[in-house]
Chain A
Amino acid sequence: MARLWQVTKLIRSKNAGPFELTFDVIFKDHETYEKVRDAKLINAEWFARTYRLTPEVVSIIHYDAASAIKITIPRPAISGDIDDTDVFGGQQYGPLVDLEVP
């Protein structure tokens, strides 16, 4: 069983402005991307559970041109606010790295 990091070129998180957090999962090859995309491994329910949100606020976009899946959620705290832990939003992708790929 492969893990997500093994089939991707890059998994990253980053601010999309101070109020949103975005994740990019960029696959090494298009076939694996399609397989993971179609298996809905990365879905709104999983994100909602992991990042404690309602599934309705999770946006998931399949970006065929780059064999990538993009997920955007409201930021857990506004960037740089007193309760924020990660000003750039750059270290929030940890839970994705070892996801099992079917």
Chain B
Amino acid sequence: MNEIRIVSATGILGSGFREETLKRAMSLEPHFIGADSGSTDPGPHYLGSGETLFSDSAYKRDLRLILLAARAAKVPAIIGSACTSGSDPQLERLVGIAREIAREEKLSFRLAAIHSEQNKDYLKRKLHEGKITPLANAPEFSEQVIDRSAHIVGMAGIEPFVAALEHGAEVVIAGRSSDTSIFSAMPVMRGLNPATVWHAAKILECGAACVVMRKYPDCMFATVRDDHFIVEPPNPEYRCDPASIASHNLYENSTPYELVEPSGVLNTFSAKYEAVSDRAVRVSGSTFTPAARYTIKLEGAELAGYQSVLIGSVRDPIILRQFDSWLAGLTRAAQDRIAAVFGAGIEEKYQLDVRVFGRNATMGALESETRIGHEVGLLFQVTADTQERATALIKSVSHIAVHYPVPEWTGLITSIAYPYSPAEIARGASYRFNMNHVVAPASPLEMFSIDYQQV
């Protein structure tokens, strides 16, 4: 029977898994080990700056165990969306970590590095050819957006992974790629039904997230056949049931019934979820419709400004009773002080925002609760065109806030508690996600170059 066994090491590389669980999973003789290493969830900073969500040590710990297990079993290790956003600097970083591990552990393998970072001239050409189209709720797109972007990545489908595997790669590290393509590439390449494969991949991509009660990140295991797959956690403390597997389709998706991939759409509307034991689930019945047009999703981030912030809290009941007018007065006084110090025209160069914890810091203008607690937290935030300016301006805000009066008290009051000295914190560059679009390339490999290295 044509069957591919897959171990997903963890939901996101760097978050960890149990060494013992991977060992147990390897005893089931998987055909490869896969792990996703990316997400847009932590926001635009990582794509914009090229920095990573986890430390090098955390990536190294997870990748070391994966590479050791994969080389011992002589099966491929496939990692996608390197170091959070899968841009070129992040891909280079993870490849560097893999090479370091190889040196330390005396491993040798053929490595494929798939580049997902996009060339700006290529994208402009595609834009002029009308080959870039918006997805839901997309912001304006233009040549200027492309120019302003710090990094733009394309989300690879299975095709670059398949090319790398066919080329004999034993370790594949990809830049940005769809979470599911990491797990779908080999089974589709070996001829298994794409509907079964993509559904299995969707369940696997978050590691142990599909168990009934996830207490810590860990590995997941699936056996994929043509017309069904069976998913069973390799950690004996964990179990899956039909509801936990069906529920996982909800996660981070706008619909549980459809999963859009570059090459087509998985539809799970008629999927069946059956318990095969008290901890394993058999899934069948999904369908896959090949796309009329092959498309690659773009992700981009641009600089929005530089920020400095100020954190404090207020406990005085007299201030809290008139909190809104006190804060409005304080904000006006701070803006006046900034104008006095930095001159006319400064208001064009910065934005001052205040977040009020204990009132509406979580939901902002959407908050319907009007009560206020016995204290509130305040976060003042200045966004400006340079870090120096943001910091200079927040210092003015800081001094106004610490002595802003209320009519009931006579004499100088100290109206805010600052937990830190200095109270002001330079936050650095702030980025913005600036596209939600797809490109139609001439071929699935056109946007992704692959480097092969003997490690």
Contact = CB atoms under 8 A, between A and B. Distances in A.
A101 B365 CA distance: 26
B363 A72 contact: no
Contact of B255 (A70, A77, A92): A70
Interface in A61-102: 61, 63, 65-68, 70, 72, 74-88, 91-92, 94-95
Nearest to A52: B366
B59 interface: no
Given A79-B43, A82-B304, A14 B251 contact: yes
A82 to B, nearest CB: 5
Given A76-B366, A78-B139, A83-B364, A65 B273 contact: yes
Interface residues of B, number: 45
A86 B362 contact: yes
Interface in B104-142: 135-139
B17 interface: no
Interface string A31-54: 000000000000000000011100
Given A74-B136, A82-B383, A85-B361, A17 B256 contact: no
B137 A74 contact: yes
A17 B363 contact: no
Interface stretch (B4-12, B156-164, B230-238, B431-439): B431-439
Contacts of B246: 63, 65-66
A59 interface: yes
Interface string A1-29: 00000000000001111111010101000
Nearest to A74: B137
A90 to B, nearest CB: 9
A78 B433 contact: yes
Interface residues of A, number: 41
A79 to B, nearest CB: 5
B3 to A, nearest CB: 25
A95 B368 CA distance: 8
A97 B202 CA distance: 28
A78 B268 CA distance: 29
Given A51-B366, A80-B433, A22 B43 contact: no
A12 to B, nearest CB: 9
Contacts of A86: 362-363
Nearest to A23: B250
Contact of B40 (A18, A22, A94, A95): A18
Interface in B389-433: 430-433
B431 A80 contact: yes
A92 to B, nearest CB: 7
Given A52-B366, A74-B137, A80-B431, A66 B249 contact: yes
Contacts of A24: 247, 250-251
Interface string B320-354: 00000000000000000000000000000001010
A59 to B, nearest CB: 7
B324 to A, nearest CB: 18
Nearest to A63: B256
B433 A19 contact: yes
Contacts of A14: 41, 251-252
A70 B432 contact: no
A95 B366 CA distance: 10
B252 A82 contact: no
B254 interface: yes
Looking at A18, A63, A88, the one whose CB has the most chain B CB atoms below 10 A away is A18
Given A18-B433, A65-B273, A70 B40 contact: no
A76 B364 contact: yes
Looking at A51, A68, A72, A80, the one whose CB has the most chain B CB atoms below 10 A away is A80
A68 B246 CA distance: 10
B40 A82 contact: no
B42 A87 contact: yes
Contacts of B247: 24, 26, 66, 68
Nearest to A77: B364
A59 B254 contact: yes
Contacts of A59: 254-255
Contacts of A87: 41-43
B257 interface: yes
A93 to B, nearest CB: 10
Interface of A: 14-20, 22, 24, 26, 50-52, 59, 61, 63, 65-68, 70, 72, 74-88, 91-92, 94-95
5 contacts: A15-B40, A18-B433, A66-B250, A70-B256, A91-B362
Given A14-B41, A82-B432, 14 more contacts: A15-B40, A15-B41, A19-B139, A51-B366, A63-B257, A65-B268, A65-B271, A70-B254, A79-B44, A80-B42, A82-B353, A82-B430, A85-B362, A92-B363
In the complex, the 10 A-B pairs of residues with the closest C-beta atoms, listed nearest first: A80-B43, A65-B246, A66-B246, A66-B247, A18-B433, A72-B254, A19-B137, A16-B254, A87-B43, A74-B137
